Amino acid sequence: MACENETAIVLREAGQKVTPQRVHILCEVRHSGVHITASRLIEELRTSHPFIDASTVYRTLASAADLGLVYETDMGSGESEFEWVGKDRHHHLICRTCGDVTSLDNSYLDGVATLLYEEAGFQADLGHFAIFGVCKSCQTKA
């Protein structure tokens, strides 16, 4: 239940009202593995908190993404996937051939952010990228 309290604090700090719906939705995002789609979230909440409407889920996720509390990323499935923004900033490498998803430390793109700031004066927010390509093992198989 530490999660509930902490989520409430984060919401309050972001200038949002702390409603039970929001706390349940965002705690579910935090607890349910890494990435989760809106429809899967709705499905899981249906059993634990059946009174929460789907539109509330969509609205909560959208505003949380705007406020930078969660990442919203297209991992190639067609549906956006959401992830709580924790301490470990990262990106993902996604293989177009086998579908394998791996994580990539934020530091790989630090150089790009620095370069953009120096050359264009642009303060880039390289939050949580999905980088598509072909993984090592799929290349050797070909």
| Element at 5 (helix H, strand E) | helix 2-13
Asked whether position 22 contacts DNA by CB under 7 A, the answer is: yes
Asked whether position 29 contacts a second copy by CB under 8 A, the answer is: no
Among 9, 46, 54, 112, binds DNA (CB under 7 A): 54
Helix (H/G/I), strand (E/B), else coil: 51: coil
Question: For residues 19 and 103, which CB has a smaller minimum distance to a second copy in the complex?
Answer: 103
Residue 72: partners with Cβ closer than 8 Å, 6 or more residues away: 61, 65, 80, 81, 82
Asked whether position 38 contacts DNA by CB under 7 A, the answer is: yes
CA distance 46 to 40: 10
CA distance 52 to 25: 9
For a second copy, the binding residues in 58-87 under the rule CB under 8 A are 74
How many chain residues bind DNA (CB under 7 A)?
24
Residues that bind a second copy (CB under 8 A): 74, 93, 95-96, 102, 104, 108-109, 111-112, 115-116, 120-127, 129, 131-136, 139
